Amino acid sequence: MTDVLRLENVSIEYTNRKGTMRIVDDVSFHIAPGEALGLVGESGCGKSTLALAAMRYLPRGMRVSKGRILFDGADLATLDDAALRRIRGNRVAMVYQDPMSSLNPVITIGRQLVEVPLLHGETDARKAHERAVRMLHEVRLPDPERMMTRYPHELSGGQQQRVVIAMALMAEPALLIMDEPTTGLDVTIEAAILDLVRELRRRFGTAILFISHNLGTVARICDKIGVLYAGRLVETGPIRSVFGTPAHPYTNGLLAALPRIEAGRTAAPLRPIAGTLQAADRARTGCAFAPRCSFAVPALCEAAPVPLVPADGAGQLARCARLDVVAAAVRGERHAAHGARLAGDEADAPVLLSVRDLSKRYPVGGGLSGGVKGEVRALTDVTLEARARRTLAIVGESGSGKSTLAKVLSGLTEASAGEARLGDFDLGATGIDKRPQDLKRRIQMVFQNPDSTLNPSHTVEHAVMRPLRLLRGLSRSAAKAEAARLLEKVRLPAEMLRRMPHQLSGGQRQRVALARAFAGDPQLVLADEPVSALDVSVQAAIVNLLADLQAASGIALVLISHDLALVRHMADTVAVMYLGRIVEYGPADAVFAPPWHPYTAALLAAVPRPDPDAPEPSIILAGSMPSPLEEMKGCPFASRCPRRIDGLCDTTPPPVRTPAAGHDIACHLDLDTLPATL
């Protein structure tokens, strides 16, 4: 049987006024009917460009400069517009990242779906309508008939992505291209979408080209994988071989850099990949990964193009000139015991921040005519503690209240009730304007996007010196010296001081943000998704740096994150939030071990593990978080809980169960009936 999609030595170039750049270099792969291939790689590796090339829809300025792309055996480059239109949407369809913007905001879901069959031969509008309704049902959307009449903005993100998937499947295509289909969705929604894709694949036998930066999601969907680096395919093969015995140093590095949810707080530090991808690396004749590779030998790696050669696993190929050396080294490393980090005892960890019954409510007005319509209960009775030298992680999906909590602590908004004590201050009642300089110094923030705190028109030196002068009152020269020292602490070379923020990579900018945060010698650092905007290989380095800085300065770290694997790696204490409340709280080892709160169990089950043999999650949450406007009588999780006790959970607030001292679970289920398996 011919392959559905076949790429033969494809190179793609981008030309603009400044010159020509190779985005994709000599990539070959093929997808047989019903097969699923995952393409992974970090930003700039060319994976999305390849997806668009497979649709022959390259952005302006890009062109396939070499090689062929065959669809169903026909060379895409030779097809005229009409032939192309017959393929698009019909034989090959695409699912995109960010479903909201992929749907037309002013046209009903129904009309957008019905268009597909009407474009591809269906003449009977009623049949097209029926087909659309059936498809909405297939993607498990509630009340498909009504869904047809709704507009995209009326749906949640997860529902929108289901609509996009339904639209892609309308014509039962032979190939489905999914470009980061779950990026930006909450982990429980992601799990549900991935589950749906697996299910649909079984039912329709559609071949899939699945593009992602997340190794875990690829492991859940694909049979084969291709790893891209700087536009080149560096490793490819059956998914089990590549995940089991990664051959290329980059693949190895990616897998070693990932925090694992199975590992504990005392596990070895992550192993980051040195450096970052530079634009010039694309133009290298030899191995593009050489500048970052610890195995690089110029004579072997950089002199001539490195071909893809067979590696250990069946059907596994890797583009590396020193596969044998790398394999031996990796085998050796696996056996070597890592120096485990030690968790200290409580004695050296005094309570620094103590939050008691903190609540935050926002009145919501009823539009221009005025009048209070209701209240958003953003936080309800939150109680927790952060200790010096320890990391408290706050986890939960968007809307869980974790960001509101960060806002209250950092003074951007004031609490409505309860208190958050730091020394003599009640942070909940002290907005940023009321905070004395010294208190500001003691609490620092690190954000997901460092750009929000870095002024683009000032040098790094200026950015780091500012808090030193402002918060620590240093003289100009003292601040200058201190800034240099701080930069060293965050492992940036001294010449970075004179750079502008836009001249730095994302990881470097986050390092500058860390230098700034630690400049005032703080006691408490709030890190709000500090690495989620960074590439995996860079994430690990920042995570390690944060841990080192914490060890050296003894700060209490409050980590706000949706990434449970990261939390598992970093946290000593974990608070799981849902709808503004803490549903489970305790030492990380206890929270990550059974018994779990039903919501914690669902979150843990949803985490995509970078392991193709990981069991399919047995708990898939339906629906989405209810609106915080609703008055909540019983358990906040009742509307989605698979273990709900009807007549009790939705009417009576759950009691707090205590499996061990300091570990709280708010649930009606008895301790021995709480979920214990995922």
Q: Give me the residue label for tokens 């597909």.
A: 116
CB-based burial, 348-361: b 16+ in 10 Å, e otherwise: ebeebbebbebbbb
How far is the C-alpha of 49 from the C-alpha of 52, rounded, in Å?
A: 5
Q: What span, in angstroms and rounded, lies between the C-alpha atoms of 461 and 673?
A: 57
The tokens for 668 are: 């009606």
Give the x-and-dash track for 654-673 against ligand SF4 (CB under 6 A).
x------------xxx----
Q: How far is the CB of 101 from another protein (least distance, A)?
A: 4
* 119 binds, options another protein, ligand SF4, none, Cβ within 5 to 8 A by partner type: another protein
Give the integer Cα–Cα distance in Å for 146 and 505.
47
DSSP three-state, residue 27 = strand
Of residues 65, 142, 83, the one with CA closest to residue 109: 142
DSSP secondary structure string for all residues of 518-573:
HHT--SEEEEESTTTTS-HHHHHHHHHHHHHHHHHH--EEEEEES-HHHHHHH-SE
Q: Which of residues 14 and 250 has its CB atom nearest to another protein in the complex?
A: 14
Q: Assess 57 for contact with another protein (CB under 8 A).
A: yes
Q: Map the footprint of another protein across residues 370-399, applying CB under 8 A.
A: none
| Interface of this chain with ligand SF4, residues 594 to 633, rule: CB under 6 A | 598
Contacts with ligand SF4, 228-257, as mask; x by CB under 6 A: --------------------xx--------
3-state class (DSSP) for residue 632: coil
Q: Does 321 bind ligand SF4 (CB under 6 A)?
A: yes
Q: Site mask, another protein, residues 17-56, x = CB under 8 A?
A: --------------------------------------x-
Give the contact letters, 570-599, x = binds to ligand SF4 (CB under 6 A), - = no: ----------------------------x-
Which amino acid is residue 546, in one-letter code?
L
Q: Does 489 contact ligand SF4 by CB under 6 A? A: no
Select from 33-41, 197-205, 253-261, 315-323 the region that touches ligand SF4 (CB under 6 A).
315-323
- Asked if 320 interacts with ligand SF4 (CB under 6 A), we say yes
Q: Pick one of another protein, ligand SF4, none as the site partner of residue 116 (Cβ within 5 to 8 A by kind).
A: another protein
- Which of 301, 408, 519, 571 touches ligand SF4 (CB under 6 A)? 301
In one letter, which amino acid is 361?
A: R
End-to-end CA distance of the chain: 40
Sign of CA dihedral 36, 42, 48, 53: negative
The C-alpha atoms of residue 509 and residue 497 are separated, in whole angstroms, by 12
Cis peptide bond upstream of 181, omega within 30: no
DSSP string for 188-210: HHHHHHHHHHHHHHHHH--EEEE
Q: Which does 598 bind (CB under 5 to 8 A by kind): another protein, ligand SF4, none?
A: ligand SF4
Q: Considering only residues 85-114, where is the footprint of another protein by CB under 8 A?
A: 85-90, 93-94, 96, 98, 101-107
Residues that bind another protein (CB under 8 A): 55, 57, 81, 85-90, 93-94, 96, 98, 101-107, 115-116, 119-120, 151, 153, 164, 167, 369
Residues that bind ligand SF4 (CB under 6 A): 248-249, 287, 289-290, 293, 295-296, 301, 306, 320-322, 598, 635, 637-638, 641, 643-645, 649, 654, 667-669
